[in-house]
Amino acid sequence: MVLMDLENLDLAISQLTRVLKKEGKLVVSTQHPCFENAHKDSPIRNKKGEEIARAVTDYFTSGLVIDKFEGFPHYHWMLSQYMNAFSKNKLFVEEIREPNIKKILKDKMTEVVRNHTPMFIIFKLRKQ
C-alpha cells in the first residue's frame, strides 16, 4: 500500500526487484487505479438513491493527485504503468486479485464501502 505514495514508480519497482532473490516472490497491494481517484469519479445512483456504479473520468492522466475529500496527496498510476514496471524488471505476474471488500467485511463499514467496484488490486509476482 505504498506504491501510490511514491513519485517514481519505476525506481520503486526496480529497488523491490533488486532485493529479491531469483524466483523470489513479491506481493503488491495498492488502491485500484481505475477507481481510487475520488476527485475524478462520481456516483451513479438508482431511483432509490443507492449508489450502483461509478462514472470515472481522466483515468489516463498519471501523476500527483490531491484527494478532494481528505486533502492527502498520492500518485495515480494506470494499470499499464504497473504492468510495464513489473515487466521491465522481469517480475512475472503469477496472479492478480481484485477483492470485493464489502463481501470481506460483511456488515462492517458497509455504508462507506462500495460493492460494485474493487477498492484494491493485489499482484502476486515472481522474479525471473
CATH number of 3-127: 3.40.50.150
Which of 126, 99, 127 lies closest to 113, judged by CA?
A: 99
Of the listed ranges 13-17, 52-56, 108-112, the one predicted with least confidence: 108-112
Alpha-carbon distance 113 to 17, whole Å? 33
Grid coordinates given for 121 = 488490486
3-state secondary structure of 18: helix
pLDDT tens by residue, 96-113: 999 887 777 666 555 555
pLDDT, mean of residues 24-52:
84
